[in-house]
Structure 1
Amino acid sequence: MLVLSAAACDDRSGSSDAAPSSGRCLGPVSSGDSSLEVSAESIGPGSESFPVTASGMIEDTVFVVSRHMSLRPGLVAGFDAADGGLTYHEDVVVDGEASHGTWGATVSGDSLYVGMSFDGPRRSAIMRLDPEEGELVEVGSTAPARLIWDMTTAPDGTVYAVTSRQNNAGLWEYDPDEDTTEFLGHFQNDTRQDARSVAATEDTVYIGLGNASADLIAYDRESGDSRSVLPEELEGATFVYSLEATEDVLAVGTRSPATLTVIDSQDPEHHEVFRVPTGTVQSLEIVGDTVYFTSGSALWRHELGGESPERLADLELPGGQTRGMFHRDGTLHGVGNLGHLWSYDLEESSSRITDLDSGGRGEDPQGEPAQSLAVVDGVVYTGGHFTIGVRELATGELDQVYVPGEPKDVVAHEGTLYLAMYSSGELIRLDPETGEHEVVAESPSGHDRPRALTLDDDSGRLVMAVQADSGGAGSVTVHDSATEESYTIAPFADLASSAVVASDGVAYVAGSSGMQDGDDDAQVAAVDLRTGGVMWTTAPVDGAGVITGLALEDDRLRGLTADGAVFVLDTQTRDVVVEDAGLGPGGLLTHQGEVYGATEEKLFHLDPETGQARVLLEDLDGEWFTWPGLASDGCHLYTMSGSEVLQVGIPGEGSETDARRGS
């Protein structure tokens, strides 16, 4: 039976701050083993923010939509552009199906159109909001696509939406006059390719593709014919990330490399490409003969026919991304990715930022899914979207610290925090007292999604496993905290680096194929951290394509596969024992000398003798924006239950916590 109370245990971490705080007991969490009296207590949301990835402006009201998978249900809210006052709010639930946000929205006539994703069979749908009536209704299905990446409106009011790789980069059309939705086709057979951006003119719809490789498609609205108009200079980019079009000009923003490209709509061979030093071009607005765009927190202007773009201002926008920009009467209005409105007066060259007060979520805002979780010296750190939640266990107080991306893993070393950042692929060092950060190591270009970060205590080296989302494969970046020197290796030719743990100068790295549409067996490589050389590799589980977690227990390496098998690998003999535990993807770590793990639904223990998994808690319904995981402060374990951090006490004596973190 589960005991819902603060846990008492032998705190071997040496920190009195590790004692549990007063928290709220969670009702739905149940014990998986009635003979084991574990204790579990919620300490509250790990990170609270309002991630925004879509917006639209009608008259003086700016509408924002919560980021896909960040809030459940997804949220649509309207704010007065002048003062940020809340004018509309709706948590989007349709026929009992909770939505979970979007990346796409557009305005046609006097209505806002939003492309929402859903948990259930609805998958994704186009929804319309009439601000006068204040009613949000579903007008068209875009199933089987799971995600609408972008939306736009043609001059005649027709709405277009582009969708995810699940239907091979699709284009959809909604006619507001006829109230009909039509699937116009897909443009790539590569299952890793997304239709990422869209713009429309009287005759043409432009679709920006990316992930597997960049492309730019011109779709003839009358004939249905399509062709690529991607300039040769952009063939090495990973995404055509943003688009804006008039009858004469097509403005294109790319990622990796970050460029602004201006194309003659009548003659695509006539174009200009400009490198942008501040990062991916996120939002575009064409006003007369001027292209305005944002990149990072910078606002830029490019005069058509001019030599190069001009940097107008550093907006100092929290989160550093703009998710929609609109021109009204000499003023640019923008929406920040962490729930802020900004405006820039073009005549006065002055800017203003308005905090939207948690995006209108009310007095009890919900937490966001965790990107990562760590507990150090009585403080819980939960990675969020361009922020990290910092909660003091002693007081229960939660603060948010802005960071340049999403921390996919966090490790503490010598009084500082190291964060593995998506989508830069950087390893940054964060001072927990001041919030100041600096980049200490970088991954190769295109290697953008860190999967795990670990510390080799013996050498002081940090080891970051990184997946290349777009090009496939992956890498391992090693940073020596003593010398500040770093290097990168690729232990596998065609596998993504998906998990890592280190000890005694050796890193054990998992290489996986399944998340990149491969069918090779996942492997484990032993890497000498002094030389960067691969000592050996092995495929521990036949037929398993993805390893999501690793942890060390003396000379035994324990692992978890995405399909739920657990294995133990003798690092000396390389003998392997595999058990089909039916757990699903998750993380592992060594806590008080033994290995524990967590998935979205379960917290479990791996028996040190038999290797069998024993479920300690189940029905967690943990919300993660990465593979699920867990953390230890030396006394308690921590994982997610919903969007709240759960503190778990495990009875029994154990040796001191092994600081070698798994993933």
Structure 2
Amino acid sequence: MVVPTSAHASSAPDCGAQAVTTYGPASVTGAIVGAAVHDGHAYVVSRGPKPPVVAEIDLATRKVTRTATLPDGPAAGEPEGGWATAVADGKLYIGTYPVPDLYSYDLATGQVTHLRSFGANGGFVWSMAAAPDGALYLGTSSDGRLWEYIPSTGAVRRYGVLAQGEHYVRAVAVDDTTAYAGLLEKAKLLAVDRVSGAVRELAQGPAAVGTVTLYGERVLAASGSTLIDVRKDGTDRRQFEAGVGVIDAFEVAPDGTVYLTSRPDGAVYSYRTGQNTVIKVADPPSPGEETRALQLNGQQLIGFAGSGGMWWLDLPSGTSEFVDLIDAGLPAGPERTQSMLLMPNRALYIGGHFAVEVRDLRTGKQRRIRVVGEPKAMVRRGNEIYAALYPSGEIISIDVHTDKVRSHGYIGHDQSRPWDIEHDPVTDTILVASAPTGAKLHGALTVLDPDTGKLDVYPNVIPDQSLMSLSVDAARGVVYLGGDVLGGGGTPPTRATASIAAFDLQRRTVLWQIDPLPNHRTFQDLKVHDGLLYAVYKRVLGAWIALDPATGTIKHQGLLSGHGELYVHRGRVFTSTYFGGGNAYELGPKPKLLATGLGDEWHTNPQLQFEPGSFNAWTIVGRDLAKVRLDPRCPPVTIPDQHG
């Protein structure tokens, strides 16, 4: 039995028994976002834990020598990481999320200072670069703006709109006169005059421009897997499909050789101006990783892996070494849980960032299985756990006996957010509902035959909508699909109301499509029970319905405190929701609040995993793994305020 951090819980439906038992952090991580190198040391910023950790690593010993945390700023919300880093005048500057704040870390003293905020809670500082004169240039969301910050005076300038409708300045580089910005939704590479603010377009890419660097009089940028190489004045543009996946980092050698990495493979390539291709330099030093930064050190290329690692690649030989930053001394911290799956009486599988944590319910032991992404959803088929990963769109399985991870391929079709996964026992297939990233509307239904490996993808199955959820109705031979008119969120929707579609799993065709509630734009989850299709909406806070799929009529509906996943257990329908402190409900003709105070610390959507034969459900309270009594016959459980 897992040893709890509080008293032991009873599984009996006794309303007087202890209602909540916690078991420590559900998932811990050493993942990183921002990274920089300066004067023999590397600096990284953690991703997920609160508060984020800044760690200094000695490049000679490959050990963490000093750490600090980023204090909470005065604005609402708390930092959970820092994508953007830049070194200037003896300080490391860090731009954070999900509060777009700026901090400094003094490289001599280790002192951390909160400098200012660049927007409200929910925003990001995605990118930052230091000009030769020490001025900082930052790219933010969701306002899609470029900012100037002068460290010596604290003066701030917000530049004008770079492109109408753009919400993300994803990459920034800067020289004496000009800042160069990469846009996510409009996929443009822009040059912004530092003094006048005048904007010039240097290139239009096919996908988000997520990486920009400078070398001499040229600007190098990546638009997905397209490489852009252009002079700073906009002439002599060379643009080609590199064929290497999404390019995520650049480093330029003194001789003009450009080293780059791509995901999801994680391999290293090189390029020189005038080439129409890239050349593979080495196999992935950390397979399947996204690379946060590259730094050349003589004949060594140093890389920073998003899962929380560093690698050293010897360029002449092509050999590499990898160091896990937790092993090097980076403090691991509790992160937001991505997903959860219970194998009754055996284990809990908990999805985190680049790992699945396994809690053995028989022995209390824990172990971590490395996976190359975030498991957004998991489902069991026999002795295997299937998961769909962000951002690669890869479908994997984990053998419950050996922990062996097997890839079943990638969804493709611009799908990067696999939101839901189920197993259809009749066709014995794995079904995945997914959404794109950026300025795209079309989601996809993926049908995987796990025995043959055949992967069938049906993009735009609900026209001009992505898919947030699905629910198999084995008796009818259909899977119900829940749409989202916003798609990837980067382009105006063409429809005002989210649809439900019924997809025939034998004929592989849509049988019907309906729009149950006008002007409700996003379904969060669907679940079939007792002839009705239950649905929770996302954008309209807490709206839910129970629909008769045979007639299209709504039998029940109401409002909850927020949105989350639906579960059928012991002949009843349950949900756990964001907002209002984190609540759990039973749905039906007479909905009932079952618990409040669970917290809002899920990364994806609040989830419940019920133990067979009881109303005890595994979930998280704050960021701790917890077992909570959700017995509809008992008074609601009230949990004290949680601070994740």
Amino acid of the residue matched to residue 293 of structure 2? Answer: G
1:341-352 matches, cutoff 5 A: 341-347=310-316, 349-352=318-321
Q: 1:633 to 1:107 in 2, by over 3 A?
A: same
Q: 1:457 to 1:583 in 2, by over 3 A?
A: farther
| Residue 299 of structure 1: how far off its partner (Å) | 1.8
For 2:400 and 2:211, how far apart are their aligned partners in 1?
35
Alignment-derived partner of residue 40 in structure 1: 20
Alignment-derived partner of residue 131 in structure 2: 154
1:115-514 matches, cutoff 5 A: 115-117=95-97, 123-144=99-120, 146-164=123-141, 166-167=142-143, 169-190=144-165, 193-210=167-184, 212-231=185-204, 234=205, 236-237=206-207, 239-255=208-224, 258-277=225-244, 279-288=245-254, 289-296=256-263, 297-306=266-275, 308-317=277-286, 320-347=289-316, 349-357=318-326, 360=329, 362=331, 365-377=332-344, 378-440=346-408, 442-470=410-438, 471-489=440-458, 490-504=460-474, 505-513=477-485
Correspondence 1:646 to 2:613:
no
For 2:604 and 2:546, how far apart are their aligned partners in 1?
24
Q: 1:552 to 1:253 in 2, by over 3 A?
A: same
Alignment-derived partner of residue 93 in structure 2: 113
Query: Normalized against structure 1, the TM-score is what?
Result: 0.86
Q: 1:463 to 1:347 in 2, by over 3 A?
A: closer
SS of the aligned residue for 2:27 comes to: coil
- Determine which of 34, 38, 43 is the counterpart of 1:58: 38
For 2:151 and 2:450, how far apart are their aligned partners in 1?
59
Question: Does the 8 Å contact 1:38/1:651 carry over to 2?
Answer: no
Alignment-derived partner of residue 83 in structure 1: 61
For 1:276 and 1:149, how far apart are their aligned partners in 2?
25
For 2:97 and 2:623, how far apart are their aligned partners in 1?
19
Question: Does the 8 Å contact 1:54/1:323 carry over to 2?
Answer: yes
More displaced 10-residue stretch of structure 1: 599-608 or 81-90: 599-608
SS of the aligned residue for 1:586 comes to: coil
For 1:550 and 1:181, how far apart are their aligned partners in 2?
46
For 1:267 and 1:602, how far apart are their aligned partners in 2?
51
Question: Does the 8 Å contact 2:358/2:366 carry over to 1?
Answer: yes
Question: What does the per-residue CA deviation read over 1:257-300, in whole Å, with 9 as the maximum and x for residues that have no partner?
Answer: x13332233443332425142x2111111122111111232122
User: Which structure 2 segments of 5+ residues have no match?
Assistant: 634-644
For 1:34 and 1:176, how far apart are their aligned partners in 2?
61
For 2:210 and 2:190, how far apart are their aligned partners in 1?
13
Q: 1:486 to 1:356 in 2, by over 3 A?
A: closer
| Residue 425 of structure 1: how far off its partner (Å) | 2.2
| Residue 638 of structure 1: how far off its partner (Å) | 1.8
More displaced 10-residue stretch of structure 1: 435-444 or 50-59: 435-444
SS of the aligned residue for 2:369 comes to: strand
| Residue 483 of structure 1: how far off its partner (Å) | 5.0
More displaced 10-residue stretch of structure 1: 476-485 or 197-206: 476-485
Q: 1:374 to 1:80 in 2, by over 3 A?
A: same
Alignment-derived partner of residue 617 in structure 1: 595
For 1:604 and 1:94, how far apart are their aligned partners in 2?
29
Q: 1:628 to 1:319 in 2, by over 3 A?
A: farther
Alignment-derived partner of residue 547 in structure 1: 523
Alignment-derived partner of residue 521 in structure 1: 497
Q: 1:157 to 1:331 in 2, by over 3 A?
A: farther
| Residue 36 of structure 1: how far off its partner (Å) | 8.0
For 2:587 and 2:241, how far apart are their aligned partners in 1?
58
Question: Does the 8 Å contact 1:477/1:488 carry over to 2?
Answer: yes
More displaced 10-residue stretch of structure 1: 427-436 or 487-496: 427-436
Amino acid of the residue matched to residue 506 of structure 1? Answer: V
Question: What does the per-residue CA deviation read over 1:108-161, in whole Å, with 9 as the maximum and x for residues that have no partner?
Answer: 13211101236xxxx422211111122111233312471011111222222111
Amino acid of the residue matched to residue 43 of structure 2? Answer: F
For 2:577 and 2:632, how far apart are their aligned partners in 1?
23
SS of the aligned residue for 1:206 comes to: strand
Q: 1:77 to 1:259 in 2, by over 3 A?
A: same
Question: Does the 8 Å contact 2:223/2:247 carry over to 1?
Answer: yes
For 2:389 and 2:85, how far apart are their aligned partners in 1?
27
Query: Normalized against structure 2, the TM-score is what?
Result: 0.88
Alignment-derived partner of residue 4 in structure 1: none
For 2:450 and 2:56, how far apart are their aligned partners in 1?
47
Question: What does the per-residue CA deviation read over 1:84-126, in whole Å, with 9 as the maximum and x for residues that have no partner?
Answer: 32222122113576322121111113211101236xxxx4222
| Residue 244 of structure 1: how far off its partner (Å) | 0.8
| Residue 34 of structure 1: how far off its partner (Å) | 12
Question: Does the 8 Å contact 1:58/1:110 carry over to 2?
Answer: no
Question: Does the 8 Å contact 1:150/1:198 carry over to 2?
Answer: yes
For 1:264 and 1:434, how far apart are their aligned partners in 2?
53
Aligned length: 609
Alignment-derived partner of residue 657 in structure 1: none
Question: Does the 8 Å contact 1:48/1:400 carry over to 2?
Answer: no
For 1:188 and 1:38, how far apart are their aligned partners in 2?
56
| Residue 472 of structure 1: how far off its partner (Å) | 1.5
User: Which structure 1 segments of 5+ residues have no match?
Assistant: 1-19, 654-663
Amino acid of the residue matched to residue 180 of structure 1? Answer: A
- Determine which of 65, 81, 102 is the counterpart of 2:82: 102
| Residue 648 of structure 1: how far off its partner (Å) | 3.0
Q: Percent identity?
A: 26
Question: Does the 8 Å contact 2:2/2:365 carry over to 1?
Answer: no
For 1:424 and 1:349, how far apart are their aligned partners in 2?
26
Q: 1:543 to 1:261 in 2, by over 3 A?
A: closer
SS of the aligned residue for 1:94 comes to: coil
For 1:58 and 1:484, how far apart are their aligned partners in 2?
47
SS of the aligned residue for 2:29 comes to: coil
* Greater length-normalized contact order (CA 8 Å, ≥ 6 residues apart): 1
Question: Does the 8 Å contact 1:64/1:78 carry over to 2?
Answer: yes
SS of the aligned residue for 2:336 comes to: coil
For 1:322 and 1:203, how far apart are their aligned partners in 2?
29
Question: What does the per-residue CA deviation read over 1:354-413, in whole Å, with 9 as the maximum and x for residues that have no partner?
Answer: 222267554xx4321111111124211111122211221222222221212211100110
Correspondence 1:560 to 2:560:
no
For 1:484 and 1:360, how far apart are their aligned partners in 2?
40
Correspondence 1:23 to 2:4:
yes
Question: Does the 8 Å contact 2:594/2:631 carry over to 1?
Answer: no
Alignment-derived partner of residue 610 in structure 2: 632
Amino acid of the residue matched to residue 24 of structure 1? Answer: T
Question: Does the 8 Å contact 1:50/1:359 carry over to 2?
Answer: no
For 2:446 and 2:96, how far apart are their aligned partners in 1?
37
Question: Does the 8 Å contact 2:69/2:112 carry over to 1?
Answer: no
Amino acid of the residue matched to residue 425 of structure 2? Answer: D
